[in-house]
Amino acid sequence: MSNTPDTDNAVRAFADGHRAAFLAELSEWLRIPSVSADPARAEDVRRGARWLRDHLAATGFPVTEIWDTPGAPAVFAEWPSGDPDALTVLVYGHHDVQPADRADGWRTDPFEPVIEDGRLYARGAADDKGQVLFHTLGIRAHLAVTGRSAPAVNLKLLIEGEEESGSPHFPELVRAHAERLGCDTVIVSDTGMWSEDTPTVCTGMRGLVECQIDLHGPGQDIHSGSFGGAVPNPATEAARLAAALHDDDRKVAIPGFYDGVVEPTDHERELFAELPFDEAGWLRTAHSRAALGEAGYSTLERIWARPTAEVNGIAGGYQGPGGKTIVPSAAQLKLSFRLVAGQEVEKVQSAVRDWAAALIPAGIHHEITYWGATRPCLTPLDHPALQSVVRAMGRAFGQKILFTREGGSGPAADLQDILGAPVLFLGISVPSDGWHAPNEKVELGLLMKGAETAAHLWAELAEKGRE
Amino acid sequence: MSNTPDTDNAVRAFADGHRAAFLAELSEWLRIPSVSADPARAEDVRRGARWLRDHLAATGFPVTEIWDTPGAPAVFAEWPSGDPDALTVLVYGHHDVQPADRADGWRTDPFEPVIEDGRLYARGAADDKGQVLFHTLGIRAHLAVTGRSAPAVNLKLLIEGEEESGSPHFPELVRAHAERLGCDTVIVSDTGMWSEDTPTVCTGMRGLVECQIDLHGPGQDIHSGSFGGAVPNPATEAARLAAALHDDDRKVAIPGFYDGVVEPTDHERELFAELPFDEAGWLRTAHSRAALGEAGYSTLERIWARPTAEVNGIAGGYQGPGGKTIVPSAAQLKLSFRLVAGQEVEKVQSAVRDWAAALIPAGIHHEITYWGATRPCLTPLDHPALQSVVRAMGRAFGQKILFTREGGSGPAADLQDILGAPVLFLGISVPSDGWHAPNEKVELGLLMKGAETAAHLWAELAEKGRE
């Protein structure tokens, strides 16, 4: 049986036929309040991990394990294809959830799933339990429809338990198990699509460099009448640095910052432009009154495909009511940079270091502190594995699949970097799902489409997914 | 008897002959802890005012009054010359003192004066009781040596009681009594000289404009990955404003800011350059590592004779430990501007308003709040009244008198503005006197020179002080 309309119908029929049982299983899992940020819920997080391990074993995975970390455990499962030439795919998701309290504005108990108008409401419904679980329904459909006893690819799952707490032990975990996690492709199911009507595949995430620059001027606050205008002021110099981040075209003005940047292709920009983007609506989501960014790029290009520099915090001198006529002793800048493919964390850090040193005048001492950086990841539109995801989604949705990127940064890049495999994103959540917010939900229709996509994906990848 | 060496010797002999009694009187006044900032000392402040009134009456002033304010009272005294053509001079000082606590580092009780090695240690010794009281010794010497029964000028004294609390009711007081305070010249005795070896006259104070600029961006902090680089960031815009205060020559870059500025004359700059200025020592006082300011001007010119713009405080976004990848919702700038002669408070405020409005991009709302501004004051070097002060000091000190200005701003400008009279500064305190600090002292030798200067001044002004 190949990739024909018959297959598509058979997969759909299988998913629909098992929908009720699948939702009952998902609801059972959602009832476990696996809030990783809450120490009092640590046992619930472990219980959620055991539930998933048992569920994967019941699905048929011959290998299911709980991997401990210094924090919450991850769940690993493996199902070899049996074919020595088969592609190996690793699915990433997480079994922990954000905190949720009825008093935050939930209409129903966040840990007592409710189905209403084709939606399932519960903490974790979309982020990420629903999106992890559609894979098991998908695998069952894949096996049932193809008649196989094992997936067409060597399938591995790594479902971590600390994503909502910043994944503090994740890189370490991946490094420690790098050999067993080895794969040709990573599929991340912890993202979303453009909208219910516009199915999309995300092709990359931006990287992140964060730093703090501390500037030290006078040994103590000094009188601005007696000394101001004749000695350097660290608040002024912090401001001059922050202002020098961008030129008048709002391009980042740090020498070398754009070195190696992979520009979005004309084709990708055309496809971005096909998205039904409503800037006024987007501005409402941004709680902002106007768009402003790098000249020559659209808003979507600015947040997805272009590197940026942002002032996250600035502080220096007197901040209380009224005035205080001082030259302050010190000031502080907190900056973050979003990186795109082609930029290297270390090169950006070094460029920022050189830029600051060149601008800060004699008499001001400064230190730069960097912390936890993340590399960007991007899969080209013509990458065979990405095309497989697009075809699998196209068969499930019966529509043209467009492309997005993710402006934020995430642990997916660790998988790319440590395992050396391209990261693809298969997510069926939509912006209205309310991640991290009260009344989180998932669209049941999209959950089924996710399962169908997953069912098609292994065959698509097996057939044409190799680079 | 005219202005001859004999007169000078006679004045010196009178001052020396009355030195012990004068120091006993001053010590009696210094024992009254007239701390205006401390509500518990309010009665002491009133007691100090009464002491001064009685002392002025005993000195011979025919009019001595206590003027109440909503806060601490001022002392007014008047001694008409009797000559219908006589010049009228108003002496300004204050009878309140800074707080002082033995535990702050005082070697002796701050309110129990101690004389040691030619110095008198007590709170208020230099700031300002010592400098108020040398005038009464000076008047007695003036009358004794000239044989007059009234001063050569119509003499008025206004000694306020809230200077150390920011003179909150002073402008109101001066306005209410403007007619009785009317004068040709104001003599402020609440300042200092360059050093014990280098007597100087201060010729002006800078003015002050203070404001806060609040910038509002997104309605709440938003995610820098999802929105950063595509909407305006109020912390970035606050920094761009602060950075735009100065050009690369560190000139203030606000259009119109320098309009009307009175440049120091070449002669004044030459005289400034004669002062034994030790930049390394000055930098130690400034707790700073390097000098930096407007190109083309020396450090002294920058702090005395040039207007400046200073960032007193800047704040926006996250300021805690580590990072937070947000576009902050709001930011705040606290700025102060020192003004020199020729600049108008209202014009500078309006220039700042226009400058900010032109630079802040669409999507950022802002407000500017101004408070308590002070006008600059400056007396030209060739002003006859200033020349009278210089001659009087020269006779007392037997040295060339050089010139300084005061970089700070003070209530003297209110006297200039409300009374329409030039303000001259006669102060004999030196930087080591420790104003506002523990172990405040006054040099007894300089206190006597102050009394001698005051004794010569009324004759000098009567003779050549009219413009």
The domain segmentation of chain B, as residue ranges, is 5-205+377-464, 207-261+307-374
Residue B235's closest chain A neighbor by CA? A311
Q: Does domain B207-261+307-374 have CATH number 3.30.70.360?
A: yes
The reported pLDDT for the residue numbered B467 is 66
* B5-205+377-464: CATH superfamily: Zn peptidases (3.40.630.10)
Nearest Cα of chain B lies from the Cα of A185 at a distance, in angstroms, of 25
The reported pLDDT for the residue numbered A423 is 94
- Residues 6+ positions from B4 with CB-CB distance below 8 Å: none
The arithmetic mean of pLDDT across residues A309-338, rounded, is 95
Nearest Cα of chain A lies from the Cα of B362 at a distance, in angstroms, of 6
The reported pLDDT for the residue numbered B272 is 97
Contacts of B326 in chain A (CB under 8 A): 312
Q: Is B80 exposed, middle or buried (0-12, 13-18, 19+ CB in 10 A)?
A: middle
The arithmetic mean of pLDDT across residues A135-163, rounded, is 97
Q: Could you report the predicted ipTM of this complex, rounded to two decimals?
A: 0.89
Contact A218 B287 (CB under 8 A): yes
d(CA A308, CA B228): 7
Q: Which of A293, A314, A408 is the closest to B238 by Cβ?
A: A314
B3 touches chain A (CB under 8 A): no
Best B194, B221, B231, B318 member to test A by mutation, with max A CBs in 10 Å, is B231
- B466 φψ region: left (φ > 0), alpha (ψ -120 to 50), beta (else): beta
Structure token pair of residue A348: 């950006």
Over pLDDT 90: what percentage of chain A? 90
- Are A211 and A352 in contact by the 8 Å Cβ rule? The answer is yes
Q: How many CB atoms lie within 10 A of CB A353?
A: 14
Q: Which of A229, A283, A314 is the closest to B338 by Cβ?
A: A229
d(CA A22, CA A455): 15
Looking at residue B92, the DSSP 8-state letter turns out to be: E
pLDDT digits (tens, 9 = 90+) for A62-97: 999 999 999 999 999 999 999 999 999 999 999 999
- Are A185 and A153 in contact by the 8 Å Cβ rule? The answer is no
Contact A286 B227 (CB under 8 A): yes
- Are B443 and B196 in contact by the 8 Å Cβ rule? The answer is yes
Q: Categorize the per-residue pLDDT at A467 as very low, low, confident or very high, splitting at 50, 70 and 90.
A: low
| Phi, psi angle pair for B426, to nearest 5° | -120, 100
Nearest Cα of chain A lies from the Cα of B299 at a distance, in angstroms, of 6
C-alpha distances out from residue B330 to A299, A314, A325, B237, B317, Å: 22, 11, 22, 10, 7
A144 touches chain B (CB under 8 A): no
Helix (H) or strand (E) holding B443: strand B441-443
Level-2 CATH architecture, domain A5-205+376-464: 3-Layer(aba) Sandwich (3.40)
pLDDT along chain B (467 residues), means of 10: 78 97 98 95 98 98 98 98 95 95 93 98 97 98 96 98 91 96 96 95 94 96 93 98 98 98 96 96 94 97 97 96 92 97 97 98 98 90 95 97 92 88 94 90 98 97 82
The reported pLDDT for the residue numbered B166 is 84
Q: Categorize the per-residue pLDDT at A1 as very low, low, confident or very high, splitting at 50, 70 and 90.
A: very low
- Residues 6+ positions from A459 with CB-CB distance below 8 Å: A3, A142, A146, A152
Instruction: Tell me which residue has tokens 């590399």.
Output: A375
Residue type at B406 in one-letter notation: E
Residues 149 through 188 of chain A touching chain B, CB cutoff 8 Å: none
d(CA A354, CA A143): 56
Provide the mean pLDDT of chain A: 95
Residues 339 through 378 of chain A touching chain B, CB cutoff 8 Å: 361-365, 371
Q: Find how far residue A217's CA is from the centre of its chain.
A: 40
Contact B316 A314 (CB under 8 A): yes
Closest CA to B235 of B219, B253, B216: B216
- Are A314 and B235 in contact by the 8 Å Cβ rule? The answer is yes
Contacts of B319 in chain A (CB under 8 A): 313, 315, 332, 334
Alpha helices in A185-263 (DSSP H): 224-227, 234-243
A312 touches chain B (CB under 8 A): yes
Best A212, A220, A221, A288 member to test B by mutation, with max B CBs in 10 Å, is A288
Residues 383 through 412 of chain A touching chain B, CB cutoff 8 Å: 406-409
d(CA A242, CA A41): 41
Q: Categorize the per-residue pLDDT at A166 as very low, low, confident or very high, splitting at 50, 70 and 90.
A: confident
Contact A243 B243 (CB under 8 A): yes
d(CA B441, CA B434): 7
In three-state secondary structure terms, B441 is: strand
Structure token pair of residue B119: 């110095």
The arithmetic mean of pLDDT across residues A101-127, rounded, is 96
Contact B229 A406 (CB under 8 A): no
Q: Is B330 exposed, middle or buried (0-12, 13-18, 19+ CB in 10 A)?
A: buried
Q: Categorize the per-residue pLDDT at A465 as very low, low, confident or very high, splitting at 50, 70 and 90.
A: confident
What is the pairing mode between strands B119-121 and B365-374? unpaired
The reported pLDDT for the residue numbered B1 is 42
Best B312, B324, B366 member to test A by mutation, with max A CBs in 10 Å, is B312
